Every structure is written in structure tokens, then in C-alpha cells.
Amino acid sequence: MKKADKYKELFNKEYLMGPNSIRLLEEMLEKYPLRRGTRVLDLGCGKGLTSLFLAKEADVNVFAADLWISATENNIRFNEWEVSDKVIPIHADANDLPFAEEYFDAIVSIDSFHYVATQPNFFKKKI
Ligand SMILES: C[S@@+](CC[C@H](N)C(=O)[O-])C[C@H]1O[C@@H](n2cnc3c(N)ncnc32)[C@H](O)[C@@H]1O
């Protein structure tokens, strides 16, 4: 059984903003595992499903950043899902991230990078 299957009840129109984000993340983590306790930016986290999975299944500390979904809205969900000790909601534009350089051990961006990386050399300049 895939770990993603545990979250099936959340695969509904209230939370999903694209293809099965949790399944995509699980497959990515199988290939690129994260060390427990590391600091991860979930860039374009949407409604936070991937942040939930990162906190619960990879046991990492997550900064959940998104532009269209407010930090307040995501904070309510993170409280309900009982991951507030591990997930910090941030309202931010990927083009103007409010973090120190090299602050994160890893950046995860599931089904979001093509939304955020619209300017030339985005990766080199902003990531
Ligand atoms: C298709 S949704 C995917 C959300 C989530 N990762 C998921 O898979 O459920 C794309 C997300 O990219 C975010 N986004 C678009 N442009 C952005 C930007 N410039 N900075 C930060 N997030 C951005 C949107 O707010 C939206 O939540």
C-alpha cells in the first residue's frame, strides 16, 4: 500500500488543485528521500496537501508558501490536521521570497513550478 492512500479522503475538489499531488510527492521522495528534521520549502503549496504529507511522512519542517491561497486559510487547515508544529504557512510570491539565501535544505514544488517560473532564468536568479 502506498502512503498516499492514507490521504485518499482529502483527494476531493475542496483540496486538490491538480493531479494527485500527494502521490506525485511520494514517488519523488522514493527517488530523492529527505533527511528527517530538515528544513523544506513547499513552493506553491496550494491548499497544503503536500505540506501535510511532508510533515507526517517525511518528518521534516515545512515552510508552506503560496500566492493564491492565503496563509490564514492554510493555517486553519494545518491546525485541523495537527501539523502546525511542523508546518509554517506563508503568503509569498516565488519571485520575491522573504527568506535568507541557502536557508532551505530542499525545495519541493509539486505541480507548481510551471506556474511560478514564468520569468527568464527564474531558477538561477530566484532559487
Ligand atoms: C496547480 S496549483 C498546485 C498546488 C499544490 N502544489 C498542489 O499540487 O495541490 C499551483 C499553485 O501555484 C501557486 N503559484 C502560482 N504562481 C505563484 C507564485 N508566483 N508564487 C507562489 N506560488 C504561486 C498558486 O497559488 C497555486 O496554488
**Spacing, Cα 63 to ligand 1 middle (Å):** 14
Asked whether residue 16 is domain-assigned, the answer is yes
- CATH number for the domain including 77? 3.40.50.150
Asked whether residue 98 is domain-assigned, the answer is no
Asked whether residue 40 is domain-assigned, the answer is yes
Three-state DSSP class for 87? strand
Asked whether residue 84 is domain-assigned, the answer is yes
pLDDT at 114 over 90: yes
Ligand 1 atom closest to the Cα of residue 46 is 27
Ligand 1 atom closest to the Cα of residue 68 is 25
pLDDT in tens, 48-106: 999 999 999 999 999 999 999 999 999 999 999 999 999 999 999 999 999 999 999 99
pLDDT at 1 over 90: no
Check if 73 has its Cβ closer than 6 Å to any atom of ligand 1: no
Asked whether residue 107 is domain-assigned, the answer is yes
Distance CA 52, CA 7 (A): 10
Check if 110 has its Cβ closer than 6 Å to any atom of ligand 1: yes
Asked whether residue 119 is domain-assigned, the answer is yes
pTM attached to this predicted model? 0.97
| Sequence-ordered strand ranges (E) for 1-51 | 39-43
Asked whether residue 29 is domain-assigned, the answer is yes
Closest C-alpha residue for ligand 1 atom 4: 46
Looking from the CA of 11 toward its CB, the CA atoms found within 13 Å total 11
Q: Which cell numbers in the block locate residue 21?
A: 499531488
Terminal Cα distance for the chain, rounded: 34
Check if 21 has its Cβ closer than 6 Å to any atom of ligand 1: yes
Distance CA 114, CA 61 (A): 24
Q: Which cell numbers in the block locate residue 38?
A: 530538515
Asked whether residue 97 is domain-assigned, the answer is no
What is the number of structural domains in the chain? Answer: 1
Three-state DSSP class for 106? strand
Check if 48 has its Cβ closer than 6 Å to any atom of ligand 1: no
Q: Report how far apart, in Å, the C-alpha atoms of 82 and of each of 40, 55, 77, 91 are.
A: 18, 10, 8, 20
For residue 17, give its domain range. 3-92+103-126
